[in-house]
Amino acid sequence: MGEIIVNRPDLHPKFFWDFKFDEIEWEAYKMVISRILERGGQQEINEIIRFYGRDKVVTAIRDEIYFLPNYAIDKALKFFPELKKEEMYCYLNRKDKPYHWI
């Protein structure tokens, strides 16, 4: 029997506890990247780079992800030194705007 090839990143389902893991659309890379930035470590960051490519991950973080909490922005800057906070849409989008949890 042939091996079944699954086209998805090798990430633990615990990062996506609020999704049906087998039904995640991995092409929805912004959700996956932001989730891993918020909750993952170096191993998971390496995996999303492997799966999506570094350029796509950096572009998503800089230009396409609309919200990340401060700690995730700080992690992104640590993992991707080419990023500047002042260029990140998720930072500019809420600079000087406090956000409140309901």
Q: What mean pLDDT do residues 44-72 have?
A: 96
CB 78 within 8 A of CB 53: no
Closest CA to 95 of 59, 68, 61: 68
Give residue 93's pLDDT. Answer: 82
Q: Does residue 75 surpass a pLDDT of 90?
A: yes
Q: Cα 10–71–22 angle (5° rounding)? A: 25
Q: What mean pLDDT do residues 77-93 have?
A: 93
**Alpha-carbon separation of residue 89 from 67, 92, 101 (angstroms):** 8, 5, 20
Residue with tokens 């999506």: 52
Q: Does residue 40 surpass a pLDDT of 80?
A: yes
Global confidence as pTM: 0.84
Q: What mean pLDDT do residues 18-34 have?
A: 94
Q: Does residue 29 surpass a pLDDT of 70?
A: yes
Give residue 53's pLDDT. Answer: 97
CB 89 within 8 A of CB 77: no
Q: What mean pLDDT do residues 52-60 have?
A: 97
Give residue 1's pLDDT. Answer: 52
